[in-house]
Amino acid sequence: MKVLVADKISSIGVDFLKRQEGFDVIEIFDLPKEERQSKLLELAPEVSGIIVRSDSRVTREVIESAPVLKAVGRAGVGVDNIDIKAATDHGVVVMNTPGGNTVATAELTFTHMLCGARPISQAVISMRDGRWDRKTLTGSELRRKTLGVCGLGRIGAEVAKRAKAFGMEVIAFDPYLTQSKADSLEIRPVELDELFEKSDFITVHMPLTDQTKYMVDEAAFEKMKDGVRIFNCARGGIIKEDALVKALQSGKVAAAGLDVYESEPLAEDHPFRSIENLNLTPHLGASTKEAQESVGIEIAEAVTDAIKGGTIRNAINMPAMDGDTLKKLSPYLNLCEKLGTLVQQLALDKIEQVTLTYFGKIVDLDADALTRSGLKGFLKNISGSNVNFVNALALIERLGIEVETIKSNVETDYTELIRVEATCRDGSSVFAEGTLLGKGDSPRVVNINGREVEVEPCGHLLIVANSDETGIVGKLGTIIGDDGVNIAAMSLSRNQVGGIALNIAVLDSPLSDAAVKEIRSVEAIKQAKVVHLEC
């Protein structure tokens, strides 16, 4: 298995990859940037993993040229240079290292804040020029000022902690900020407009998305206090550069600090370079020895685990699970997949919706992971080997099938129960329910379309609905035996005496088409379906 290291990461991380049995590590980061990109595309067809930083781009063209690619690792946080949708469509997991450079970026942000409050860079320049400009270099204290933090993830939270230590009042805007987290950090959550209006200092810690692009624009600056100070060590494009230039020149913004830009490297003639009250650094957020080693090792380990089929960590396009969680979930993931495959084969008409319902203690587990497994099983006979845990949700949405996940508090006869139901175009529906039995957590199907059964979802299942009358089981046994197929187990169920019975025969080998046709020709048999499940 070949792993391509396109951009330079810590040598410790590269050495870790090289020690993995069966790995062939290809390093191209010494090539010029333009040559590196073409080399990446050239090598893509043979690599199982790709590791990048911010220079190399993993485009749709690269991903579509890489049939054996399993994982793309970003040694850092931002994944703007990776086509996430293309990766998801092709079942490629994309991972980053959100924790490795957290402290480094938080400290750089705070450095910018201090340099924005006190004109340190201007003082350094004046001293080197032989001047002693004490009177013209008056600054401002952080103490008792209000800091507005846009985005309270890992880095934003670290900045908030440092601000509290400096005696600042901290307010924060984050659509996903819970009150409990805000309370633990001793900060006040606010809406974005209030943050703009109340803050003396503003820091940005959000990803660049359609929602956050130019989040700080001309209208935002109009809402801010005169003399506000603003800093961005997150992603270029969140602050509109033209608007910031005007705000600095007019005095609306007293000082600013940037580590990231809309286009990098920053153009030599960019107006930012001539503004004295603007401190600029060349994207140094993760540029500490400690951070570089941390993200290099972290992404090497993550890509290795992903390629080898182990724990998925810090995934962008799928639920990430640590080893303990994966171990706990594994039998349920297997059960969900089997139920999905079973229901898809039982459905007789075009399916318009798939509903996965969880009962009992299982509602406390990761429903996203369980649902993806159910959809993976459902799509197995539709999309073939292309479907996996990563792209199952995207593939089923592309088919126009709606997906609903329900965590139910309805009591059942089982400690944990999973139901997968398919609703067809004609309004009919098919469902199967399953649980885990015994010390070995053995999966069992315990209900099909309201009929209680008990069958292991493994191998070849003959599912027959027939009038409840004598002799049917004998006829089935005779036809199956004449076809040279052995019955390993059988489960019988009926709704009422003389009603409709359900017979499920677990077969050691597939039935021939002729045998299935003969079974369906029996007058009392209303429906007969052979379902194939992997063991």
DSSP helix/strand/coil, 380: helix
**Token pair of 312, please?**
């998925």
Of the candidates 511, 518, 526, 517, which has an alpha carbon nearest to the alpha carbon of residue 465? 526
- Residue-level length of the chain: 535
Beta bridge partners of 255: 229
Evaluate the omega torsion of the peptide bond into residue 265 and state whether it is cis, within 30 degrees of 0: yes
Beta bridge partners of 72: 50, 94
Please classify residue 352 by burial: count the beta carbons closer than 10 Å to its beta carbon, then call 0-12 exposed, 13-18 middle and 19+ buried.
middle
- Report the C-alpha gap between 90 and 106 in whole angstroms: 35
Is 264 a known active-site residue? Answer: yes
- Cα dihedral 292, 298, 301, 303, rounded to 10, equals -90
Q: Helix H segments across 308-355?
A: 323-346
Distances (CA, A) of 176 to 150, 151, 163, 190: 12, 9, 21, 12
**Token pair of 76, please?**
């850092």
- Of the candidates 53, 229, 235, 444, the residue annotated as catalytic is 235
- Report the C-alpha gap between 306 and 23 in whole angstroms: 13
- Report the C-alpha gap between 71 and 312 in whole angstroms: 10
Q: Are 150 and 191 in contact (CB under 8 A)?
A: no
Distances (CA, A) of 420 to 132, 390, 506: 76, 19, 21
Q: What is the DSSP string of 398-442?
A: HTT-EEEEEEE----SSSEEEEEEEEETTS-EEEEEEEEETTTTE
Q: Are 254 and 227 in contact (CB under 8 A)?
A: yes
**Token pair of 229, please?**
């100070």
- Of the candidates 35, 141, 264, 469, the residue annotated as catalytic is 264
Is 283 a known active-site residue? Answer: yes
- Of the candidates 57, 162, 283, 494, the residue annotated as catalytic is 283
445: Cα within 13 Å, side-chain hemisphere: 31
Q: Using H for helix, E for strand and C for coil, what is the string for 433-479?
A: EEEEECCCCEEEEEEECCEEEEECCCEEEEEEEEECCCCHHHHHHHH
Is 270 a known active-site residue? Answer: no
**Which residues are designated catalytic?**
235, 264, 283
